[in-house]
Amino acid sequence: ANPNIPTGHIEVVAERIDVLNRVSRRLPFEINSDVVPKEELRLKHRVLDLRRAQMTSNLKLRHAVSKSIRNFLESEDFIEVETPILCRSSPEGARDFLVPARIVPDAMYALPQSPQLFKQLLMVSGFERYYQIARCFRDEDLRADRQPEFTQVDIEMSFMSSEAMMSLMEELVLRVFKEVRGVALDSPFLRIPYAQAMERYGTDKPDLRYGLYQHDLSNILENCDCRIFTGAIANGGIVKALVVPDGDQISN
- The 3-class secondary structure across the chain, one letter per residue, is CCCCCCCCCCCCCCCCCCCCCCCCCCCCCCCCCCCCCCHHHHHHCHHHHCCCHHHHHHHHHHHHHHHHHHHHHHHCCCEECCCCCCECCCCCCCECCEEECCCCCCCEEECCCCCHHHHHHHHHCCCCEEEEEEEEECECCCECCECCEEEEEEEEECCCCHHHHHHHHHHHHHHHHHHHHCCCCCCCCCCCCHHHHHHHHCCCCCCCCCCCCEEECHHHHCCCCCHHHHHHHHCCCCCEEECCCCHHHCCC
pLDDT at 131: 96
Q: Across residues 120-132, what is the average pLDDT?
A: 94
Q: Across residues 156-161, what is the average pLDDT?
A: 92
* pLDDT tops 80 at residue 86: yes
Is pLDDT larger for residue 12 or for residue 190? 190
pLDDT at 133: 96
pLDDT at 144: 78
pLDDT at 100: 94
Structure confidence at residue 16 as a pLDDT band (50, 70, 90): very high
Distance between the two ends of the chain, CA-based, in angstroms? 76
What percent of the chain has a predicted confidence (pLDDT) above 90? 65
pLDDT at 186: 94
Structure confidence at residue 208 as a pLDDT band (50, 70, 90): confident
pLDDT at 157: 93
Please state, rounded to an integer, the average pLDDT across all residues of the chain: 91
pLDDT at 8: 84
* pLDDT tops 90 at residue 25: no
Q: Across residues 195-199, what is the average pLDDT?
A: 92
pTM of the model: 0.78
pLDDT at 161: 93
* pLDDT tops 90 at residue 166: yes
What percent of the chain has a predicted confidence (pLDDT) above 70? 99
Which residues, at least 6 apart from 145, have a Cβ–Cβ distance to it below 8 Å?
none
* pLDDT tops 80 at residue 118: yes
Structure confidence at residue 153 as a pLDDT band (50, 70, 90): very high
Is pLDDT larger for residue 144 or for residue 83? 83
* pLDDT tops 80 at residue 9: yes
Is pLDDT larger for residue 49 or for residue 146? 49
Q: How big is the chain, counted in residues?
A: 252
Contact between 98 and 110 (Cβ < 8 Å): yes
Which residues, at least 6 apart from 149, have a Cβ–Cβ distance to it below 8 Å?
135, 136, 137
pLDDT at 99: 94
Structure confidence at residue 243 as a pLDDT band (50, 70, 90): confident
